[in-house]
Amino acid sequence: MKPLLRLWYRHSPQLFISELLEKRWMEPIVPFILMCVVFLIFIVSIPGYTSLIQLQQLMRSFPEQAFVAMAMALSILSGGIDLSVAAVFAMANFIALYLLQVLGLPFPVAVLGTLLWGACIGAVNGGLIAYGKTRPFLTTIVVLIIVRAAYNKLTAAFALELASGYADSPVWDFVGVGLIWGIPVNMACLVVIGIVAHLYLTRIRSGVHIMAVGSSRKAARHAGINVKRSLFTTYVLAGMLASFAGLLYAARLNSAGTDTGVGWEINALAAAVVGGISLDGGRGTISRALMGAAIIFLLINGLVQLGTHGSLTTATIGFILLAAVGFNIKFVKNKGKILQKIYVSPSYVEFTPPASIARDSGSVFAENDRLKDVEAVALDRIEGPEDVILDQDDHLYTVNRNGSIIRFLAPDYQEREEFARIGGRPLGLALDRDKNILACVAGMGVYGVRPDRTVFKVAEQTNRTWNRLKDDSRLWLADDLDVAPDGKIYFSDATTRYDLSDWALDGFEGRGNGRLVCHDPATGKSRTILKNLAFPNGVCISHDGMAVLWASTWLCRIYRYWIAGERTGELEILVDNLPGYPDNINRASDGNYWLAFVGLRAPVYDLAMADPAFRSRMVKQIPPDEWLCPGLNYGCVIKFDDAGSVLESLWDPGAESHPTITSMREHKGYLYIGGLENNRIGRLKLPAADKEWTGWESYWGKKRRDGRKDQTAAAGEGGTHVARS
């Protein structure tokens, strides 16, 4: 039963749904599904609906409505509305026929004339709305009435000439009935112009300006966009799109009836809204407008083909519009809320009771007071030194919450200076062979600072997991790193589902959301070497350079991953069932390793980890400040060796000076202690330690204990050190 439970919670459908909801392409999912459903229903209920001729017929009559819908969508995206599109369309139809058939002008002139008409009426709309500051809705309704009346008058006046006229133009006929590779010409036009319009709105400056004005007029003005000109352009373009539709209509049907384009503005508005284009402007795409237009078109067309009573068709359309839009509005509005409720999806983690930490228990973890009287360095002059490191000149480097690397100068560490500013939230630090400081920066990746203080990027992405919905190619929460003898940088990306501010939520999940990544400076590429790790935190290369030790915070384990020698690629648990949540691991001078406990385990929280349903109820139903959390307010550092046995522990029982210890670094007989939320760096004298030992010497200098004899010989300078020792 338990393995099943474990499996269920590990691949919970909740996880899938929450990551699905996060995708941006989920926004128009309702209109898209509606379109497919409508199409499918008619395929099933109308025989021969998908025959070639029928499809060509559909494609021939769709583009005109689609263009009108596009014109409408454009105006809505700019934050206004253009209800005159249908009347402009009808008038353009008349003008095209008039120019070609009555006046007998050549085809290009007719096209230009028709488009000119659209541009002119668009200029009237745009001029009034942008420069006359009139309201788009009313203005375009009035233009609709006037143009419609003029159209009716003109078609009545020229009825005879239009009926008897004939355009002797093969191009005209081709536009009307021609096919390009089996696709009607006007459909081809729609595809081309649709793509152009999409690129215009997303890539071209003036198009992007239209979207900006629609999103927020004020912000657009503040950004220096000429709001009035953008609006003017919008209506001119909308007019031209509508008149182009009129041209296609004229070519296809050669008639100007009294009902041409009547009510199309309503269909177009419906198309835009059903497609999910927000009436508030600025939100939507051309593809959504076309999707909406397709829904309306297929619906009307299909219902007519089914022989439905005309008025029932109308009623159905009205009903479907209301239902679809209502659902869409509620869906878009509540998507965030749903996501919030279901995003945290806990998994099943089972613990056994750890070794006792009681003072008189006699275990190696027994509480003591060794950290109680630690000397405070940089008291109140640093905020959140997650990691500390010292260079060969004994200067102390640490990270600050505001995204900078701070240096305290030796010997008394009184003088403070901002060594470099990276941004983000720097966490783990390491020194490479060239004495560059490498830092993991949450939300950004891995960055380096040269001794001359220039900042450089090491890695910001790794390979993406292809079978996962969420794009995890970016480094999400790079936490700690270390450099192997061959120069490769191993670092942990603690979780790919949460930002640093929500890192505790990852704890409620207890799932393997993190990964271990290797960056090879030689190729400049990063590669995920281990994935699905439960909050991989501290990373340390073993003294012999053969393995990476890393701590899994939520599973309370230290793992060893072999990177050299005959066991390369093997992963094993080195220390299991720690009584606290492990954070950074760093080398000790005696060939062992220091490990910081960021918090302590408690029986009740262990119990909660074995009950995922409880944790998801907790996250859903009670406010965050009442959540059951891991006990973070303890201070403890332990030491363990390569065999996985814990040697000693150092405690600050009340955690008055050093709660939430995340890092400790040994340097010349002292241990420097940093914490994620602390206001100081602790400095503890280690009487028995090697007074000459420094971290850099241990990695790159004469204190090295390298197990990779064969490889380091090739590594130049490093090899000579080994030979000397």
Q: Choose among 172, 76, 680, 95: nearest CA to 377.
A: 680
Let me know: does 558 contact 574? Beta carbons within 8 Å. yes
Q: Choose among 112, 223, 97: nearest CA to 161.
A: 97
**CB closer to other proteins, 16 vs 131:** 131
Tell me if 311 contacts other proteins by CB under 8 A: yes
Q: Which listed range, 53-61, 152-160, 409-417, 521-529, lies at the site for other proteins (CB under 8 A)?
A: 152-160
DSSP-assigned letter for residue 188:
H
Going 655 to 659 to 662 to 664, the CA torsion angle's sign is: negative
For residue 151, the one-letter residue type is Y
DSSP-assigned letter for residue 232:
H
Tell me if 153 contacts other proteins by CB under 8 A: yes
Write the Ramachandran bin of 442: left for phi over 0, alpha for psi from -120 to 50, otherwise beta. beta
Could you write out the DSSP letters of every residue in 394-423? Answer: --EEEE-TTSEEEEE-TTT---EEEEEE--
Tell me if 139 contacts other proteins by CB under 8 A: yes
Burial of residue 296, with CB atoms counted within 10 A of its CB: 0-12 exposed, 13-18 middle, 19 or more buried? buried
How many residues in total does the chain contain?
Answer: 725
Q: Burial code of 166-184, b = ≥16 C-beta within 10 A, e = fewer? A: ebebebbeebbebeeeebb
Measured in degrees and rounded to the nearest 5, phi and psi for residue 390 equal -125, 140
Candidate list 54, 226, 287, 314; residue touching other proteins; CB under 8 A: 314
Tell me if 269 contacts other proteins by CB under 8 A: yes
Q: How far apart are CA 279 and CA 531, in angstroms?
A: 44
Tell me if 322 contacts other proteins by CB under 8 A: yes
Tell me if 300 contacts other proteins by CB under 8 A: no
Candidate list 123, 188, 191, 266; residue touching other proteins; CB under 8 A: 266
Let me know: does 528 contact 516? Beta carbons within 8 Å. yes
- To the nearest whole angstrom, how small is the minimum distance from the Cβ of residue 515 to other proteins? 42
Tell me if 428 contacts other proteins by CB under 8 A: no
Tell me if 122 contacts other proteins by CB under 8 A: no
**CB closer to other proteins, 12 vs 78:** 78
Tell me if 316 contacts other proteins by CB under 8 A: yes
- To the nearest whole angstrom, how small is the minimum distance from the Cβ of residue 149 to other proteins? 4
Tell me if 233 contacts other proteins by CB under 8 A: no
- To the nearest whole angstrom, how small is the minimum distance from the Cβ of residue 120 to other proteins? 16
Tell me if 414 contacts other proteins by CB under 8 A: no
Q: Which listed range, 133-141, 247-255, 362-370, 630-638, lies at the site for other proteins (CB under 8 A)?
A: 133-141
Tell me if 132 contacts other proteins by CB under 8 A: yes
Q: Which listed range, 143-151, 535-543, 556-564, 586-594, lies at the site for other proteins (CB under 8 A)?
A: 143-151
**CB closer to other proteins, 198 vs 221:** 221
**CB closer to other proteins, 333 vs 691:** 333
- To the nearest whole angstrom, how small is the minimum distance from the Cβ of residue 189 to other proteins? 29
Q: How far apart are CA 513 and CA 476, in angstroms?
A: 10
**CB closer to other proteins, 108 vs 318:** 318
Tell me if 137 contacts other proteins by CB under 8 A: yes
- To the nearest whole angstrom, how small is the minimum distance from the Cβ of residue 291 to other proteins? 17
Q: Which listed range, 47-55, 128-136, 583-591, 695-703, lies at the site for other proteins (CB under 8 A)?
A: 128-136
Candidate list 31, 207, 281, 284; residue touching other proteins; CB under 8 A: 281
Write the Ramachandran bin of 146: left for phi over 0, alpha for psi from -120 to 50, otherwise beta. alpha
Q: How far apart are CA 314 and CA 566, in angstroms?
A: 76
Going 393 to 399 to 403 to 407, the CA torsion angle's sign is: negative
- To the nearest whole angstrom, how small is the minimum distance from the Cβ of residue 194 to other proteins? 24
Both tokens assigned to 724: 């000397």
Tell me if 223 contacts other proteins by CB under 8 A: no
DSSP-assigned letter for residue 708:
-
Candidate list 88, 317, 444, 598; residue touching other proteins; CB under 8 A: 317
Q: Which listed range, 54-62, 187-195, 216-224, 415-423, lies at the site for other proteins (CB under 8 A)?
A: 216-224
Q: How far apart are CA 607 and CA 603, in angstroms?
A: 6
Tell me if 270 contacts other proteins by CB under 8 A: yes
Number of residues located near other proteins, criterion CB under 8 A: 51
Q: Choose among 484, 488, 523, 384: nearest CA to 442.
A: 384
- How many other CB atoms are there within 10 angstroms of residue 200's CB atom? 18
Tell me if 79 contacts other proteins by CB under 8 A: yes
Q: How far apart are CA 649 and CA 376, in angstroms?
A: 20
Q: Which residues bind other proteins (CB under 8 A)?
A: 76, 79, 81, 128, 132-135, 137-139, 141-143, 145-146, 148-150, 152-153, 156, 216-218, 221, 263, 266, 269-270, 273, 279-281, 309, 311-319, 321-322, 325-326, 329-330, 333
